[in-house]
Structure 1
Protein backbone atom coordinates (compact mmCIF):
# COMPACT_ATOMS: atom_id res chain seq x y z
CA UNK A 1 0.00 0.00 0.00
CA UNK A 2 2.85 2.40 0.76
CA UNK A 3 4.22 1.82 -2.74
CA UNK A 4 0.84 2.71 -4.27
CA UNK A 5 0.57 5.80 -2.07
CA UNK A 6 4.01 7.01 -3.15
CA UNK A 7 3.12 6.59 -6.83
CA UNK A 8 -0.26 8.28 -6.64
CA UNK A 9 1.08 11.27 -4.73
CA UNK A 10 4.00 11.80 -7.14
CA UNK A 11 4.08 14.94 -9.27
CA UNK A 12 2.45 14.33 -12.63
CA UNK A 13 0.42 11.31 -11.49
CA UNK A 14 -2.52 10.85 -13.83
CA UNK A 15 -5.65 9.55 -12.12
CA UNK A 16 -8.63 7.99 -13.90
CA UNK A 17 -10.36 11.28 -14.64
CA UNK A 18 -7.27 13.19 -15.77
CA UNK A 19 -6.37 10.24 -18.02
CA UNK A 20 -9.71 10.57 -19.85
CA UNK A 21 -9.29 14.35 -20.02
CA UNK A 22 -5.87 13.85 -21.63
CA UNK A 23 -7.38 11.48 -24.19
CA UNK A 24 -10.03 14.06 -25.08
CA UNK A 25 -7.25 16.48 -26.05
CA UNK A 26 -5.94 14.07 -28.71
CA UNK A 27 -7.34 15.11 -32.14
CA UNK A 28 -7.25 11.55 -33.55
CA UNK A 29 -9.49 10.31 -30.70
CA UNK A 30 -12.16 13.02 -30.74
CA UNK A 31 -14.51 11.17 -33.07
CA UNK A 32 -14.27 7.96 -31.05
CA UNK A 33 -14.80 9.77 -27.76
CA UNK A 34 -17.78 11.65 -29.18
CA UNK A 35 -19.29 8.29 -30.17
CA UNK A 36 -18.53 6.92 -26.69
CA UNK A 37 -20.39 9.87 -25.12
CA UNK A 38 -23.31 9.40 -27.52
CA UNK A 39 -23.63 5.72 -26.62
CA UNK A 40 -23.07 5.88 -22.89
CA UNK A 41 -24.01 9.44 -21.97
CA UNK A 42 -22.08 12.05 -20.05
CA UNK A 43 -19.90 11.12 -17.09
CA UNK A 44 -20.38 12.82 -13.76
CA UNK A 45 -17.35 12.87 -11.50
CA UNK A 46 -17.80 12.44 -7.79
CA UNK A 47 -21.46 11.43 -7.91
CA UNK A 48 -20.95 7.80 -6.95
CA UNK A 49 -22.37 6.15 -3.89
CA UNK A 50 -20.37 6.88 -0.74
CA UNK A 51 -19.13 4.31 1.75
CA UNK A 52 -21.60 5.63 4.33
CA UNK A 53 -24.49 5.25 1.85
CA UNK A 54 -23.47 1.65 1.10
CA UNK A 55 -23.23 0.82 4.80
CA UNK A 56 -26.63 2.41 5.49
CA UNK A 57 -28.20 0.52 2.58
CA UNK A 58 -26.79 -2.80 3.75
CA UNK A 59 -27.92 -2.21 7.33
CA UNK A 60 -31.31 -1.08 6.03
CA UNK A 61 -31.57 -4.38 4.16
CA UNK A 62 -31.16 -6.24 7.44
CA UNK A 63 -27.41 -6.80 7.60
CA UNK A 64 -26.21 -6.77 11.20
CA UNK A 65 -22.51 -6.44 10.41
CA UNK A 66 -20.81 -4.48 7.62
CA UNK A 67 -17.04 -4.24 7.22
CA UNK A 68 -14.33 -3.61 4.66
CA UNK A 69 -12.95 -6.91 3.38
CA UNK A 70 -10.39 -5.41 1.01
CA UNK A 71 -9.30 -1.92 -0.01
CA UNK A 72 -7.10 -0.57 -2.82
CA UNK A 73 -6.78 3.19 -2.78
CA UNK A 74 -10.33 4.59 -2.83
CA UNK A 75 -12.03 1.31 -3.80
CA UNK A 76 -13.41 -1.02 -1.16
CA UNK A 77 -14.94 -4.47 -1.12
CA UNK A 78 -17.51 -4.68 1.66
CA UNK A 79 -18.70 -7.80 3.39
CA UNK A 80 -22.06 -7.88 5.14
CA UNK A 81 -23.69 -10.47 7.36
CA UNK A 82 -27.45 -10.79 7.10
Structure 2
Protein backbone atom coordinates (compact mmCIF):
# COMPACT_ATOMS: atom_id res chain seq x y z
CA UNK A 1 0.00 0.00 0.00
CA UNK A 2 1.45 3.36 -1.02
CA UNK A 3 0.32 6.95 -0.84
CA UNK A 4 1.58 9.55 -3.31
CA UNK A 5 1.78 13.32 -2.91
CA UNK A 6 2.58 15.72 -5.75
CA UNK A 7 4.79 18.54 -4.52
CA UNK A 8 3.52 22.10 -5.00
CA UNK A 9 7.16 23.21 -5.37
CA UNK A 10 9.50 20.60 -6.92
CA UNK A 11 12.83 19.95 -5.20
CA UNK A 12 16.18 19.93 -7.01
CA UNK A 13 18.46 17.19 -5.76
CA UNK A 14 21.69 17.01 -7.72
CA UNK A 15 20.66 16.79 -11.36
CA UNK A 16 17.22 15.37 -10.47
CA UNK A 17 14.00 17.27 -10.00
CA UNK A 18 11.66 15.59 -7.55
CA UNK A 19 8.02 16.40 -8.25
CA UNK A 20 6.27 13.82 -6.08
CA UNK A 21 6.84 11.67 -3.02
CA UNK A 22 5.44 8.17 -2.68
CA UNK A 23 5.08 6.87 0.85
CA UNK A 24 5.05 3.15 1.58
CA UNK A 25 3.08 1.67 4.43
CA UNK A 26 4.99 1.99 7.69
CA UNK A 27 6.28 -1.01 9.63
CA UNK A 28 7.21 -1.26 13.29
CA UNK A 29 10.91 -0.93 12.45
CA UNK A 30 10.27 2.56 11.06
CA UNK A 31 9.38 3.79 14.54
CA UNK A 32 12.45 2.48 16.40
CA UNK A 33 14.29 5.78 16.45
CA UNK A 34 11.32 8.06 17.21
CA UNK A 35 11.56 9.91 20.48
CA UNK A 36 8.15 10.54 22.00
CA UNK A 37 7.96 13.22 24.67
CA UNK A 38 6.07 12.85 27.93
CA UNK A 39 3.16 14.70 26.36
CA UNK A 40 3.08 12.26 23.43
CA UNK A 41 4.57 14.80 21.02
CA UNK A 42 7.11 13.71 18.42
CA UNK A 43 9.71 16.32 17.37
CA UNK A 44 9.28 17.66 13.84
CA UNK A 45 12.81 16.56 12.93
CA UNK A 46 11.95 12.96 13.84
CA UNK A 47 8.79 13.12 11.71
CA UNK A 48 10.80 14.51 8.80
CA UNK A 49 13.30 11.66 9.20
CA UNK A 50 10.38 9.22 9.20
CA UNK A 51 9.05 10.86 6.02
CA UNK A 52 12.45 10.35 4.38
CA UNK A 53 12.45 6.65 5.31
CA UNK A 54 8.87 6.05 4.20
CA UNK A 55 9.37 7.87 0.89
CA UNK A 56 12.78 6.28 0.23
CA UNK A 57 14.32 9.74 -0.15
CA UNK A 58 17.49 11.16 1.33
CA UNK A 59 16.91 13.39 4.37
CA UNK A 60 18.51 16.20 2.34
CA UNK A 61 15.58 15.99 -0.12
CA UNK A 62 13.05 16.33 2.69
CA UNK A 63 15.09 19.22 4.14
CA UNK A 64 14.61 21.15 0.89
CA UNK A 65 10.80 20.93 0.84
CA UNK A 66 8.87 24.16 0.59
CA UNK A 67 7.04 24.84 3.88
CA UNK A 68 3.66 24.22 2.19
CA UNK A 69 4.84 20.78 1.06
CA UNK A 70 6.49 20.14 4.42
CA UNK A 71 3.19 20.69 6.22
CA UNK A 72 1.41 18.22 3.95
CA UNK A 73 4.21 15.67 4.36
CA UNK A 74 4.06 16.11 8.15
CA UNK A 75 0.28 15.53 8.11
CA UNK A 76 0.74 12.34 6.12
CA UNK A 77 3.63 11.16 8.28
CA UNK A 78 1.89 12.03 11.54
CA UNK A 79 -1.03 9.96 10.32
CA UNK A 80 1.18 6.90 10.70
CA UNK A 81 1.77 7.73 14.36
CA UNK A 82 -1.77 8.46 15.54
CA UNK A 83 -4.58 6.00 16.11
CA UNK A 84 -7.35 5.89 13.53
CA UNK A 85 -10.94 6.83 14.18
CA UNK A 86 -12.96 4.54 16.36
CA UNK A 87 -15.62 2.52 14.62
CA UNK A 88 -18.99 1.37 15.81
- TM-score (norm: length of structure 2): 0.25
Question: In proportion to residue count, which structure has more helix?
Answer: 1
Question: In proportion to residue count, which structure has more strand?
Answer: 2
| Larger relative contact order (CA 8 Å, sep ≥ 6) | 2
- TM-score (norm: length of structure 1): 0.26
Higher Cα Rg, which structure: 1
